[in-house]
Chains A and B, each alone.
Chain A
Amino acid sequence: MTSLTIEDFNRCVEDIVNISDKLMDGWKLQQNEGLENGKYIVKKEQKVLPLEQEGSTNFLLIFEYHVAFNISYGVPVLCFNVWKQDGSILTIEQFWKANKKFKDSNMHDTLTQMDHPVLRRPFLTLHPCRTHEIMEPFLERSKNPVVSWLSVVGPFVHLNLTEEYVKICSS
């Protein structure tokens, strides 16, 4: 495999959902009929994080993660939206302030706002231009390159995969 096809991607995310169902981990498969890359997976998680602009008090935030396939880059993208309890969505600047993991690296290059590959609405997105670079070593070695990639990049945006997912990459 030199690059990930849509079929590979679909198989990988279906595997993720199967494992998730067993673990009750919350990943759901969504499908937008009529689109070549219509399949994507979604998971919601709640977190408590400090939001700088509103004092240092902790806020309950809902993260909704999407993993979809970007056809022009030929890679999976991890995008997400974050909202407060009343439903108001964090801007990219608010998120940067709340996210300590990007402080030293150049987050403007890495985390940006892009249109969701399927829903075509703005989402915070890990920019796909470096994804192939990260995925390349996994394409040969991993049984599920999407999981391998996600386990590397996810933690930067508070998404952690349990070891059950990582296990299927090597089995």
Chain B
Amino acid sequence: MSSNLSYVQISSCVNPSFWNKLSELKLDVYKLDVSQQRIWGYYTVINSLSCPITVMEVDSTSFNREFSAHNHLLPFQGWILNTNTIEQFKECDKAELINSEGQKLYQKIKDGDVFENTSLLNTFFVLSFADLKRFHYYYWFAFPVPRHVVVEKVHECDLENVFSLEEVETLNSAYMNLNHCQKAYFIVKKRFGKVLEVHTVASVLKTITSEDIDDYYFAFHNISYDRCAVGSIFRNYIAFILYYCDFLQNRTANFISFNLSRVGSQITCKKSIVYKLKLPTKTKDFYTSWVGWEKNERDKMGPKLANMKNTLDPSVIAENAVDLNLKLMKWNLLPSVDLEKIRKTKCLLLGAGTLGCSVARTLLGWGIREITFVDNSTVSFSNPVRQSLFTYQDSVDMKPKSKAAADNLKNIFPGVNSVGHQMTIPMPGHSVGESMLEQTKQSVEKLTQLIKEHDVIFLLLDSRESRWLPTLIASVENKILINAALGFDSYLVMRHGIHNKNYANEAARHPEGYKVIPGNNLACYFCCDVTAPGDSLKGRTLDQQCTVTRPGVSQIAGALAVELSISVLQHKHGVFAPAYYTTSQTVPTQELTVSDDSVLGLVPHSIRGFLSSFEHILPATEKYKNCVACSDLIIKEYKEKQMEFLLNVFNSSKHLEDVALLTELFKETDFGEVLEFSDEDFST
């Protein structure tokens, strides 16, 4: 029983390096040139056991002048037409395009080029548009074949039924010796009683006559895994044969559907099939009407889209690599760490000096994507060696620190959204004249707005006064605030309490000898005297000495500030996370474990470090009811009078002492016995 031979199309497969190379060539060589470029494709000749589909691959070597041969690969020769716009890609006439491709092949058949290189019959075409900004590649492969080639299958049987084992062996080894240009199509001659011969098409095709046709087998490498079908490009072979052997129209001829497979360590053609096929009559449009566009993944005639952003866009590669580093931490060490929460956290860095730079870089390491800097100065020549985000050139250009920090952060990691604001933070005791009134008001509003928009506020300023306004606003807004201050060889990193009193979490189980303070009730920078006990520089706060510091101090304190903020973020109570402290010397803090730790461990209130002895201590202090920055008295006044109150404070810090009732306290007490003054403007 005879039926028509059915066809399967080879499947296109694009190596990522192909898109990469195409982009490169488009930018550097082709530019706006839309002429067709010759490219190579290849397929594996040995049937794979793990994948029953033959694919034709293209990769970066596809653009080479010569096919880079390898013994298990056979070439396809093709063209790519890369359009300049998506419109051109859509609008070009696909039927016309494939017909003209077919015509090119027909020309090669007519001119006899195919004799030299039968793999020319394996031809393909790519229409593409590369959206290089988005790394999107629209593409459509075609494997042009003549439309009207109906071949009737008269008879089929296994190779071994036609040829002896010895002959199969001869065929096998003769095939291996063929040049790769002749391996896709060749001719086997077998006359009764004679030895089997393998010939190139070039050497015998024109000599075949209608008398000895039965001695010949037209062999073709079959790309179909399906026994019942052959590769569609077989039609090009028929077109070629019929052009030179006109007498074969409407006649039968022998064919070998050649198939190489691996049996153990042997490669054999045993699984090949021998056909007797009846060839068609050449219609008028036999060589002029061509088809072969590939179907897309939805099995429709249409283009495909490769989104290569993850693979080719270096900024996306960087982002994924940064995230992966953090995920490894989650997968291996801290399964319960909430990276998504960290990633979404917006950080406001008040101060872009040594501390600001160090904090920003460590935040990047944690995968923080939103970083805003506020600073009022420009990069000076002494800055770059200590302030890790700046370069010499920034100081030559006198760039504002906030802007330079934001820009350079993006150079380090383009995935960060960093912004700089050049701005002076209004300070108590820094009188506001008529001319500065409007600007001061604007600064207050802007700072308030920035604090509201961010989740974690870092106080990294170099003066004590400048920390006052952000401390007040962050407390009112219930934001996590991390404060860092430096001494010559000591540092203080602490978190502030907030104004919200509603939340009362009970202290978790903790060892005896420890006290606990709920997170919202923790002291701010102004509640406690920051002078270390016994400090010889009596009456001077850490930050007032900070212009002279050991260079490592800012890096350490900056890093600790970030780690503290992350520990707060990862604690289930967040800003309310309680702090534990001990008054006895017998229980070392390292051994303190409490049942409501952050996944990262303890969340201390403050960390004081001393480089002279390389030691840390973790004191915790409660809010001071007369604090000049975060006490109820101050906040009540601020909420009631807003700008009026602030302007009073800016004009005279004495006003703060009045509102916080410190003035009264001073009258009642010999204050010097109780607390030390930190400076003449401030008393806490």
Contact = CB atoms under 8 A, between A and B. Distances in A.
Interface in B30-87: 44-46, 48, 50-53, 55, 57, 70-72
Given A46-B55, A85-B14, A89-B311, A109 B332 contact: yes
A24 B306 CA distance: 31
Interface stretch (B15-23, B240-248, B385-393): B15-23
A26 interface: yes
Interface string B135-154: 00101000000000000000
B310 A60 contact: no
B365 to A, nearest CB: 18
Contacts of B297: 85
Contact of A28 (B53, B70, B317): B70
A168 to B, nearest CB: 12
Contact of B311 (A46, A62, A87): A87
Nearest to B306: A86
A46 B50 contact: yes
B324 interface: yes
A113 interface: yes
Q: Which 9 A-B pairs have the closest CB atoms?
A: A108-B331, A86-B306, A87-B14, A24-B72, A46-B51, A87-B16, A164-B265, A89-B311, A85-B13
A86 B332 contact: no
B19 A24 contact: no
Given A46-B55, A62-B13, A89-B310, A26 B72 contact: yes
Given A45-B48, A108-B332, A164-B265, 6 more contacts: A21-B71, A48-B53, A87-B19, A88-B310, A113-B321, A158-B50
Given A23-B267, A62-B57, A109-B332, A87 B306 contact: yes
Interface residues of A, number: 31
14 contacts: A24-B45, A24-B46, A24-B267, A83-B16, A86-B137, A86-B304, A87-B15, A87-B137, A89-B310, A89-B311, A108-B331, A109-B332, A162-B265, A163-B265
B contact patch SS:
mixed
Contacts of B14: 85-87
B11 interface: yes
Contacts of B16: 81, 83, 87-89
B213 interface: no
A26 B44 contact: yes
A48 B11 CA distance: 14
Nearest to A158: B50
A130 interface: no
A60 B53 CA distance: 8
Interface in A44-63: 44-48, 60, 62
A60 B225 CA distance: 15
Given A60-B13, A62-B15, A92-B324, A87 B51 contact: no
Contacts of B11: 60, 85
A155 interface: no
Contacts of B411: none
B334 interface: no
B308 A88 contact: yes
A112 B329 CA distance: 12
B310 A122 contact: no
B475 interface: no
A4 B446 CA distance: 63
Interface string A95-136: 000000000000011001100000000100000000000000
A165 to B, nearest CB: 10
B307 interface: yes
Nearest to A167: B265
A83 B320 CA distance: 17
Contacts of A91: 310, 320
Contacts of A21: 71
A166 to B, nearest CB: 11
Interface in B226-277: 262, 264-265, 267
Of A21, A62, A109, A164, which is in contact with the most chain B CB atoms at under 10 Å from its CB?
A: A62
A113 B325 CA distance: 9
A85 B55 contact: yes
Contacts of A44: 57
B437 interface: no
Contacts of B594: none
A25 interface: yes
A47 B51 contact: yes
Interface string A9-46: 00000000000010111101000000000000000111
Interface of B: 11-16, 18-19, 44-46, 48, 50-53, 55, 57, 70-72, 137, 139, 262, 264-265, 267, 297, 304-308, 310-311, 317, 320-321, 324, 328, 331-332
Contacts of A158: 50
B50 A60 contact: no
A51 B265 CA distance: 31
Contact of B317 (A24, A60, A122): A122
Contacts of A25: 72
B71 A46 contact: no
A60 B46 contact: no
Contacts of B332: 108-109
A13 to B, nearest CB: 16
A142 B307 CA distance: 45
Contacts of A62: 13, 15, 55, 57
A88 B317 contact: no
Nearest to A121: B317
B51 A48 contact: yes
B12 to A, nearest CB: 7
A88 B135 CA distance: 11
Contacts of B44: 26
A88 B311 CA distance: 7
Contacts of B328: 108, 112
Contact of A48 (B50, B139, B311): B50
Nearest to A60: B53
Contacts of A163: 264-265
Contacts of B305: 86
B285 to A, nearest CB: 33
A108 B329 CA distance: 10
Interface string A141-170: 000000000000000001000111000000
Contacts of A26: 44, 70, 72
Contacts of A87: 14-16, 18-19, 137, 306, 308, 311
Given A62-B13, A83-B16, A108-B328, A88 B72 contact: no
Given A48-B50, A62-B13, A122 B321 contact: yes
A56 to B, nearest CB: 16
B307 A88 contact: yes
Contacts of A112: 328
A81 B57 CA distance: 16
Of B18, B51, B70, B320, which is in contact with the most chain A CB atoms at under 10 Å from its CB?
A: B51
Contact of B71 (A24, A108, A164): A24
Contacts of B57: 44, 62
Nearest to B266: A23
Interface in A62-97: 62, 81, 83, 85-89, 91-92
A126 to B, nearest CB: 15
A92 B12 CA distance: 24
Nearest to A28: B70
A101 to B, nearest CB: 14
A112 to B, nearest CB: 7
